[in-house]
Amino acid sequence: MHYANIKNLDIADGPGVRVSLFVSGCRRHCEGCFNSVAWDFEYGKEFTSRSLLELLRLIGNPHVAGFSVLGGEPLEPENREAVCDICNAVKIEYPKKNIWMWTGHNFEDAKDFPVMKYIDILVDGPFILEKKDLSLSYCGSSNQRVIDVQKSLESGDTILWKEPPSLRLHNL
């Protein structure tokens, strides 16, 4: 698997300070995609064991609340196994830090992927330019949902994540 970027101390891709991994490769090619450079599966650098060690080191910073996985598309067949292994390593090393993932897949189609046992929050659905809404937290378009994966898997229903009032920008 290749990756486009690792962002350290990212404050845009999930709540709090995060480390974000942008994987390469996406077949969706959503019009208006903010990261179209990462559509190419060969874009960026190859993710290696050294990349994983660096990622884990960055996540270990006490100021980092969690880890975010974006794309490209983390759930493309070519990326699934590596992304699952990375998320597993993060959960083993830092079980109290949360993992967020963005995907163009709908949760109902992806809930049985092995990686879901490590994902705390999933932002699902493709970006749709006609539904672009800059007022949404963590979503680019109004068709996307922010899902509490573990509660959803436990209940068998899709449960939307409720943003704690302390995280809402208008309360700052």
Per residue in 45-73, pLDDT (tens digit) is: 999 999 999 999 999 999 999 999 999 99
Cα–Cα distance, 159 to 154 (Å, whole number): 10
What pLDDT does 128 receive? 95
What pLDDT does 170 receive? 45
Reported for 51-57, long-range contacts at CB under 8 A and 24+ positions apart, including other chains, are 51/3, 51/6, 52/86, 52/89, 54/6, 55/6, 55/19, 55/21, 55/86, 55/90, 56/89, 56/90, 56/93, 56/94
What pLDDT does 166 receive? 67
- Residue identified by tokens 């404050």 is 11
Contact by Cβ (8 Å): 60, 96: no
Three-state DSSP state, 119? coil
What pLDDT does 102 receive? 98
Show the beta-strand stretches assigned E in 62-164: 64-70, 98-102, 121-124, 145-148
What pLDDT does 167 receive? 60
What pLDDT does 171 receive? 41
What pLDDT does 165 receive? 75
The parts of the chain modelled with pLDDT lower than 70 are: 166-172
